[in-house]
Every structure is written in C-alpha cells, then in structure tokens.
A and B are shown apart, each in its own frame.
Chain A
Amino acid sequence: SYDLTQPPSVSVSPGQTAIITCSGHKLGDKFVSWYVQKPGQSPALVIYEDTKRPSGIPERFSGSNSGNTATLTISGPQALDEGDYYCQAWGSSAVVFGGGTKLTVL
C-alpha cells in the first residue's frame, strides 16, 4: 500500500511562515491536495493539483510538490488558520491521506 507521512504537529508565530510537509515514494509524480479540518467540521480543500487554490482560499496558502515531498506553505498564518491539515494523493488505485498535522499559531 502507498503511505503519506506528515509531521504530527507544527507550531508557528503569526509573523512567520508555516511549512507542512508530506512525504511519499515518488510523490512528485502524483497530484497532491491539501485539506484543513477544524474541530467539529468537515475537511475543507485548500490546495489541489499541487499548487492551485480553490476559489475563496487566501493567497497566503501555497503548495509545491517535487521528488518525494509535497509542501503546504502558509505565509503569515493567522489564528483562524489553526487546525488539522491533511495531504492526499492517489496511490495504488486508491485515495490515500496523510496522518495529519496539527497547526498551532502561537
């Protein structure tokens, strides 16, 4: 089976840049999506096809994907950006999610 690995947690100050990684074998050959989930809510898409932002997602969210690692970058994160972030890709004919990263904005 195909696995995606994320750090369990990332902490960042509002003026800094939050970087969340997602690792998988030859992940750069696949399209990666990113979701944020806040307590009691359904996941929400923030990045798709590695770098694209859905309508309504702020420009401070960006993504990249190369080699074995995809990255979600949040420039100048705000308190409302706190939540659990999941990467997702297709692997071995199945949708795969990373284990999730809890983002804390200090």
Chain B
Amino acid sequence: QVQLVQSGAEVKKPGASVRVSCKASGYGLTDHFMHWVRQAPGQGLQWLGRINPNSTETNFAQNFQGRVTMTRDTSINTATMELTRLTNADTAVYYCATSMLGASGGAFDLWGRGTLVIVSS
C-alpha cells in the first residue's frame, strides 16, 4: 500500500526547533519530489518547500528561507523537515505530500496524515 507515514505530534517552546519525518511506504522515496505543506488552525494551506530525494536539491518558500531544512535518508526511505527558531505562529499541522502522477504544476495526489506541531511557552 502506497502511503506516507509521518511522525507524531510535537510540543515545542518558542525559539526551539522541530523535526518532522515522513516515511514513504510502497514506493521508492527517490522516485518523486517530496513537498512540505502546513496548515495553521482554521487557516489555509501554505507551502514550505520541496526536496528532490535523488539529488538532495531543495527549494524553499521565501517566507521560510534560512529557517527550514529538508533532508532525506534513502536507507530508511524517509524525508525529514526541520524548522528552527519557532514562534507561536508556527503552530500548525505539517504535511508531507508528493505527486505520483508525474503531472505538471504540482498535483499532489499522495499526502501524509499530518503532524501537529504546537509552539507554546
């Protein structure tokens, strides 16, 4: 069964960092770009960036430049997103997503279930 399995919820203090992992199951991680998207409570979807698991090349949204890192470990078929210098505004559900369709323009047809990150003092 093709799926993305994400790590569990996290509670962090302001200023800390958080790492969220996303294990690809049923397909090879290097087959498709991995994207990260977040959703603050009651808000819409916001793209953080993507990683090419083949080359490790990354592209980040301007809002997160300098604060986000995306890596992958092909030995365990897992992608990881790290966000640093957390503030309350980073409280959100973080999703990994990919396009198995190979379509142009995004088309994320496979999503993880999301990881809730709460930033609170």
Binds A, one of B19-27, B73-81, B110-118: B110-118
Contact: B61 with A94, CB < 8 Å?
Answer: yes
Interface size range of chain B in the complex: 20 to 34
Residues in chain A near residue B35, CB distance under 8 A:
95
Q: In A20-39, which residues have CB < 8 Å from any B CB?
A: 30-33, 35, 37
Known A42-B95, A42-B113, A52-B103; contact A94-B108, beta-carbon cutoff 8 A: no
Describe B's contact surface by its main secondary structure: loop
B interface, CB within 8 angstroms of A:
35, 37, 44-47, 50, 59, 61-62, 95, 97, 101, 103-109, 111-114
Q: How far is the CA of A49 from the CA of B109 in the complex (A)?
A: 12
Interface size class of A (residues with CB under 8 A): 20 to 34
Known: A94-B47, A94-B61. A89 touches B111 (CB 8 A): no
Cβ of A3 to closest chain B Cβ, rounded Å:
12
Which of B35, B46, B50, B105 is packed against the most chain A CB atoms within 10 Å? B105
Tally of A-B Cβ pairs under 8 angstroms:
76
Binary contact readout A70-106 vs B (1 if CB under 8 angstroms, 0 otherwise)? 0000000000000010101110011111111000000
Closest B-chain residue to A100, C-beta based? B44
- CB-CB nearest in chain B for A50: B105
The verdict on A45 contacting B114 (CB below 8 Å), with A95-B35, A98-B44 known, is no
Query: Closest Cβ of chain B: how far from A66's Cβ, in Å?
Result: 15
Provide the bound-state CA to CA distance between A94 and B95, in Å.
16
Choice from B37, B46, B105 contacting A49 with Cβ under 8 Å: B105
A-B residue pairs in contact (CB < 8 Å), sample of 28:
A31-B103, A31-B106, A33-B103, A33-B108, A35-B108, A37-B45, A42-B113, A42-B114, A43-B95, A43-B108, A44-B111, A48-B105, A48-B109, A49-B107, A52-B103, A54-B101, A84-B44, A88-B108, A89-B106, A94-B59, A95-B47, A95-B50, A95-B61, A97-B37, A97-B46, A98-B44, A99-B44, A100-B44
Taken together as a complex, chains A and B put the C-alpha atoms of A88 and B111 apart, in Å, by 15
